[in-house]
Structure 1
Amino acid sequence: MPAERPVTLADVAAAAGTTVPTASKVLRGRSDVSAATRTRVMRAVEDLGYRGRARRTPAVSDGGPQLVDLVLSGVDGTWANRALSGVERAAAAAGLDVVVSVAHQPDDAWLARLLARGSRGAVVALVDTTSEQLAALAAARVPIVLLDPVTQPPRTVASVGATNWTGGRTAAEHLLALGHRRLAVLAGRRRHLYSQARVDGFRSALAEADVALPEAAVVHGDWTRTGAAALAADLLAGPDRPTAVFACSDTMALGVYDAAASAGLKVPDDVAVVGFDDLPEAEWVVPGLTSVRQPIAQMGEAALRMLLRISDSSLVAGADAPREELATTLVVRGSTSAAA
């Protein structure tokens, strides 16, 4: 039985209704291609499972690319700063420089820049990558590592994250130990993997303690402080308001502080608050915010080291990519106390 013919760039071009040079331009990040053509080529790449020739990535001493990319969903706030510091530290140790890009979704401009740059690869942090984008990067043989992936990545895509489920459970155990039984959760977007994992971990501890968490007590926001404040205001308005709120990020926890102050409630006397991330803001606010610490800088370092291992090896097409989760820990401050 004859071996199955490998997919070629000509197959991709035919499926996309374009020419081989144009399909090649898409996979090299050239800008002189229309958005519609780029979309058709990327869809054909994904549908056909096309992979280009393996790139040789010379070592820095050989005069090879001395750049790595860090693609972020945004640069506002201290999460991005900590991630960058970790990536840069590991890159500097390897003699590499870091190029920072922002993925303004749903625009694919960041992807075109990455394909065109010729760097060793990219750490992609908190970016909601599509299957077509991942397929285009695989076809161009650009290695990537997802840092805190937004959705469950394919098994062929490497990732570094934190023990989000355990972190959520730890937050619940802390509040239960303080005697809180009327609890609420301020989660991020429903489809975000790390948010749902934190909520699931929180629920698991409550279920074991036979403490109810009504569906109405779990509300989903957009990760912003102002959005969280509006949601928390509703949670704290009723006569059976929660005595404690677990916010799935420190930024949203600060929104709970704002809502409590507007309602004339004190943290932690009237409502205890636990955040997630342990950003510097957790120490600046009064009272200090109890938070589940993500080792964000260390996650950035781990992602960059993983990227270099991938780029220096011949990863077999279709093989399982490495995954790593760094441990979270609870940092107790003044925002939590025993239930009244």
Structure 2
Amino acid sequence: GVVLVFSALPQAVKQQLRARSIPFVIIDPAGDPDPDVPSVGSANWTGGLAATRHLIELGHRRIGIITGPEDMLCSLARLDGYRSAMSMAGLETAPELIRFGDFHVEGGYDRAMEMLSLPERPTAVFAGSDLQALGVLEAARVNGLRVPHDLSVVGYDDVQVARWSSPALTTVHQPLRQMAEEAAQMLLRLRTEEPSSTRLELATSLVVRKSTAPPRTD
């Protein structure tokens, strides 16, 4: 059996695996897989909603987002969650505050530098991955901004380094270990031809640490 991580599945590859009777499961698929493609993902829209709502509840109104690549379903779902939270709060979604990154530190840094050079910079940034959030923290430092005093930052994933960043990163916990376990169990069920759900989405949750605070009022 094959577990594919953060991947798209070309039709030719799917046909090759099926022709050889090799079962497969995708974890966090890049695109929207066909109904017959087994996959395990997480509630990306809900995660984006929770991250943005947290910042809104703190009092932020000008909130930027650096999501992932534009051709990945999870990136777009987190962006939709952000937009929904802003809309429900009656806040404008400013086009200049929406950026597509690459889920890596460098992409977060570059996109944050662009945002922080705007005439009216954001008071908070939601980064679509913890690695991008680390890039945002560095961009803030380079610009002489203190986190969270001058800029609040929220990440996504809750990887180990998030709790050890300075300051410790508020983030959306994605149950990566559980997603892998569920994918392996789904694969085993497919091997024995047991009836199995082909699409599973696990819950995300917000983890509040030290990188978010109300915006400055002075």
* Residue of structure 2 in register with 1:211 after alignment: 91
**Residue type of the partner of 2:127?**
A
The offset of 1:321, in angstroms, is 5.5
SS in 2 for 1:184: strand
Decide which of 77, 95, 110 is 1:230's aligned counterpart: 110
Match of 1:151 among 9, 27, 31: 31
2:171 equivalent to 1:295: no
- For CA contacts below 8 A with separation 6 or more, give which structure has more relative contact order: 2
TM-score (norm 1): 0.62
1:302 Cα deviation (Å)?
0.5
CA contact (8 A) 1:124 1:144 kept: yes
**Partner residue of 1:334 out of 193, 203, 210:** 210
Query: Any conservation in 2 of the 1:155–1:321 contact (CA below 8 Å)?
Result: no
Number of residue pairs the alignment of both structures matches: 216
C-alpha distance in 2 between matches for 1:193 and 1:179: 29
Q: Does 1:325 align with 2:205?
A: no
After TM superposition, where is structure 1 displaced by more than 6 Å over at least 4 residues in a row? none
The CA distance in 2 between the partners of 1:333 and 1:187, in whole Å, is 20
Question: With structure 2 as the length reference, what TM-score do the two structures score?
Answer: 0.96
Measure how far apart 1:314 and its partner are.
Answer: 6.5
Please state whether the residue corresponding to 1:308 is helix, strand or coil.
Answer: helix
Q: Secondary structure at the match of 1:171?
A: helix
Amino acid at match of 2:193: S
Residue 247 in structure 1 maps to residue 123 in structure 2: no
Q: Which residue of 1 aligns with 2:62?
A: 182
Q: 1:217 to 1:207 in 2, by over 3 A?
A: same
CA contact (8 A) 2:3 2:26 kept: yes
Gaps of 5+ in 2: none
* Partners of 1:178 and 1:261 in 2: CA distance: 22
Alpha-carbon distance, 1:159 to partner:
0.4
The question of whether the paired residues in 1 share the 8 Å contact of 2:43 and 2:202 is answered with: yes
- Which residue of structure 2 lines up, in the alignment, with residue 277 of structure 1? 157
**Equivalent in the alignment of 1:129:** 9
**Structure 2: which amino acid aligns with 1:245?**
V
- Identical aligned pairs, as a percentage? 44
Task: Name the SS of the counterpart of 2:166 in structure 1.
Answer: coil
Hey, what does 1:93 align to over in structure 2?
Answer: none
Q: Which runs of 5+ in 1 are unaligned?
A: 1-120
> Which residue, 281, 286, 299 being the options, matches 2:166?
286
Q: Residues 78-112 of structure 1: CA distance to partner in whole angstroms, max 9, x if unpaired?
A: xxxxxxxxxxxxxxxxxxxxxxxxxxxxxxxxxxx
The corresponding residue for 2:141 is 261
Note the alpha carbon deviations across 1:159-188, whole angstroms, 9 max, x for none: 001111000000111001000000110011
Letter in 2 for 1:174: H
Alignment correspondent of 1:140: 20
